[in-house]
Structure 1
Amino acid sequence: MRLMLAPMEGVVDHTMRALLTSLGGLDRCVTEFLRINDRLLPPRVFRRLCPELDNGGRTAHGVPVYLQLLGGQPAPMADNAARAAELGAPGIDLNFGCPAKTVNRSDGGSIILREPQRVHGIVAAVRSAVPGAIPVTVKIRLGYEDASLFEDNVQAIAAAGASELTIHARTKRQGYRPPAYWEEIARARQSLSIPVIANGEIWSLEDAARCRAISGCSDLMLGRGALCRPDLPRLVAGGDAAPQPLAWTDIVPLLLEFFDLTLAHYDTHCVGNPLKQWLVYLRCYYPQGALLFERIKRQREPGALRESLLAELSAGAAAA
């Protein structure tokens, strides 16, 4: 049983990966996608997206970070995958799942699922370009407009030599609207010999158990659920022996830690944005997150933001 952290564009960057892997339960992270057009990118671009490359391709807490590529042409994808491997990426992940219109209009993400042969060509080219010891994994949705080509795509990916397949159990058209169709993952898993990882609508221990039962997958990828409940991976991993869930008073120190991480890596004028974005997720599970968000949403200065976090920390300590 393995748990992966989903590559959420604009949300799960190296600072969030550092924080969430510090809590335990995660076996792998995947970077946000690196957009590949028609050229080989310089090493600094890879390191900016994935500074963990300078730490053996792992977070500070030892969790491997696969580098994700997104693009529609086999040769540039293969060249950049080879470079990522040379720079120390422990694995290469290929994105055929992004539903964003801007990405799809630029020949990337889920739109390529309309052409299973092209999916095969990209995966095969990358697999040939990357040393055999380095996994090449793929992430897809059930399809673009519908799931009519789903079986063709999963067979094309397996035939091209992919190491593993992660399936987000919705089409591009379905976006992120519930439900996730885990039974479709079960259909694919039965026909494949490579490992399959289930993804979509896993918000709780109960969801994780149901997803495993319906999809037949022991391995899961957690996305928004892990942002709303940062300890969800370790709770799922721990099963009956899992520790108590984190209370809001446990979350506030994490907010302060995350703020310090972003302050160390980003310009001060935008350092509050990742904090506020995370609170938008946290408030789905912690009502106190909504109140804190309202208090800080107009604050811009790092000093004011820190004071607000310290005040929330003191209030929690006093209440305890």
Structure 2
Amino acid sequence: MRITLAPMEGLVDAPIRETLTGVGGIDRSVTEFIRVTHGMLPPRIFYKYAPELHHQCETSAGTPVAIQLLGSDPEMMGLHGERAVELGARQVDINFGCPAKTVNKHKGGCVLMREPELMHAITAAVRKAVPEHIPVTAKMRLGYDDRSMGIACGQALQDAGAAELVIHARSKVDGYRPPAYWEDIARAREALSIPVIANGEIWTVEQYWRCREVSGCDEVMIGRGLIARPDLARRIKASQNGETIAPMTWPEVVALVEDYAAALQTRLEDRFVTGRIKQWLNYLRTGFPEAEQLWPRARKIREVTPMLACLDGDRRNLKVA
């Protein structure tokens, strides 16, 4: 019944992993992908994406973090899997699911689902390169052009030695548009012997249980739903025990965003910090009407200090009210 925080390129970085795993309910997470091309990346790149490597590959809450690689060269992927483990990785994950045009154009991510044989070769190379006790896992979609490749690609990864597989319940062409095709995950799961983890369109506790019912998967990965509702995993865990807990209040969420901003300021220039805060606020609009009300003002702010003042002022006004 584990819940994994999904990797989201450009958003789920180390500070937000630290923030969200601190809220509770998340059993593990995955880094943004490390892009593998033709040259060997230096250790500083691994540490940039996964500073948790300095701390037994865990967040401060003790949540394990998998190192995710993306690339199409089996030999180089194997070498980078080996390097990740040398630096402290306890799980190496392979990205076959990214739908971004620039990534797919350079033969990375979901476009590889057109070539199950290459997916097999990449996974086999990583599996061979890392010690047996280190799990090699993968994340993919149901296909690229349509949703017909889930079983074939899943079998290719299983045969190559993948320990488990996350399946996002859409094709590349589907993008992120609802609905999620959890029933297609179920068909792939039934055809495979390795554990399958369901991903896609889990925004509420009710959708979590519906996803598990339709997909037949015991475990899920949640991305946007946890960004929109930071306590979603905690509330799901309570529901597994037959309990219901009150959702986080908006002032509590603002405090999280402020902590996140402070952590970002140690890593990024202020202009990028403001952009990341806006990304999170935009998702929070789904879960909190207060974020929707704040958004017209916040989206126009370019500097960190005014942004934090805006957030703090909003929280203080709510407390007074």
- The TM-score normalised by the length of structure 2 is 0.97
CA distance, structure 2, for counterparts of residue 161 and residue 260 of structure 1? 41
Maintained 8 Å contact 2:150/2:185: no
Q: Is the CA contact 2:250–2:315 (under 8 Å) kept in the aligned structure 1? A: no
The one-letter code of the counterpart of 1:273 is G
Cross-structure match for 1:184 = 184
Contact 1:113–1:144 at 8 Å: present in 2 too? yes
**Structure 2 CA distance for aligned equivalents of residues 203 and 269 of structure 1:** 29
Query: What does residue 109 of structure 1 align with?
Result: 109
Which residue number corresponds to residue 292 of structure 1? 294
2: distance between equivalents of 1:301 and 1:157? 45
Name which of structure 1's ranges 244-253 and 301-310 shifts more when overlaid on structure 2: 301-310
Cross-structure match for 1:312 = 314
- Rounded Cα–Cα distance in structure 2 between residues aligned with 1:218 and 1:85: 28
2-structure distance, mates of 1:82, 1:55: 18
- The structure-2 alpha-carbon separation of the partners of 1:276 and 1:210, relative to structure 1 and needing over 3 Å to count, comes to same
Counterpart check, 1:277 vs 2:294: no
User: Who is 2:213 aligned against?
Assistant: 213
Aligned to 1:7, the other structure's residue is in SS state: coil
Amino acid at match of 2:49: L
What is aligned with 1:162? 162
* Range with bigger deviation, 256-265 or 14-23: 256-265
Q: Matched residues in 2 for 1:150 and 1:238: separation?
A: 32
Partner of 2:175: 175
1:236 Cα deviation after fit? 1.1
Q: Shift of residue 311 of structure 1? A: 1.0
The correspondence for 1:255, drawn from 238, 257, 272, is: 257
Q: Which moved more, 1:184-193 or 1:217-226?
A: 184-193
Name the structure 2 match of 1:125: 125
Is contact 2:166–2:199 with CA below 8 Å preserved after alignment?
yes
Q: What per-residue deviation string (whole Å, max 9, x for no partner) do you get for residues 16-67 of structure 1? A: 1011000101011101111111122110010011111111101111101101
> d(CA) in 2 for partners of 1:35 and 1:9?
11
Post-superposition shift, 1:248? 1.5
User: Alpha-carbon deviation of 1:269?
Assistant: 3.1
Distance 1:228 1:109 in 2: 25
Instruction: Please list every run of at least 4 consecutive aligned residues from structure 1 whose deviation after the TM superposition is greater than 6 angstroms.
Output: none
Q: Using the alignment, how far apart are the partners of 2:124 and 2:244 within structure 1?
A: 40
Question: Does the Cα contact within 8 Å between 1:31 and 1:68 map onto a contact in 2?
Answer: yes
Count of residues in correspondence between the two structures: 319
Q: Deviations over 1:178-233 (max 9, x none)?
A: 11111111111112221110000111111100100010001000011111111111
| Other-structure match for 1:32 | 32
* Residue pair 1:270, 1:300 contacting (<8 A) in 2 also: no
For structure 2, the 5+ residue unaligned runs are none
Q: Deviations over 1:129-188 (max 9, x none)?
A: 011111111001011102333221111111111011000011111111111111111111
- In structure 2, the partner of 1:81 is 81
Q: Please say if residues 235 and 245 of structure 1, whose CA atoms lie closer than 8 Å, have aligned partners that are also in contact.
A: yes
Equivalence for 2:59: 59
1:34-49 correspondence runs (5 A) = 34-49=34-49
- Contact 1:234 1:242 survives alignment (8 Å): no
Gaps of 5+ in 1: none
User: Which AA in structure 1 matches 2:246?
Assistant: Q
Distance in 2 (alpha carbons) for counterparts of 1:256 and 1:150 = 40
Partners of 1:289 and 1:23 in 2: how far apart?
A: 19
Alpha-carbon distance between aligned partners in 2 of 1:152 and 1:287, rounded to the nearest angstrom: 43
Which whole-Å CA distance do the structure 1 matches of 2:311 and 2:181 have between them?
39
TM-score w.r.t. the length of structure 1 is: 0.97
Give yes or no for contact 1:31–1:65 (8 Å, CA) kept in 2.
yes
The residue number in structure 1 matching 2:19 is 19
| Alpha-carbon separation, structure 1, partners of 2:123 and 2:75 | 10
Deviation string, structure 1 residues 95-142 (Cα, Å, up to 9, x no partner): 000111110010100111111111111101100001111111100101
Distance 1:313 1:182 in 2: 38
SS in structure 2 at match of 1:271 = helix
Q: Distance in 2 between matches of 1:117 and 1:303?
A: 51
Tell me the amino acid that sits aligned with residue 5 of structure 2: L
Residue type matched to 1:208 in 2?
Answer: Y
Q: CA deviation at 1:255?
A: 1.8
Structure 2 partner of 1:228: 228
Contact 1:18 1:59 in 2 (8 A): yes
Deviation at 1:242, TM superposition (A): 4.2
Give the equivalent residue in structure 1 for 2:303: 301
Residue type of the alignment partner of 2:317: A
Q: Which amino acid aligns with 1:139?
A: K
Q: Is structure 2 residue 4 aligned with structure 1 residue 4? A: yes
C-alpha separation between the residues in 1 aligned to 2:2 and 2:154? 21
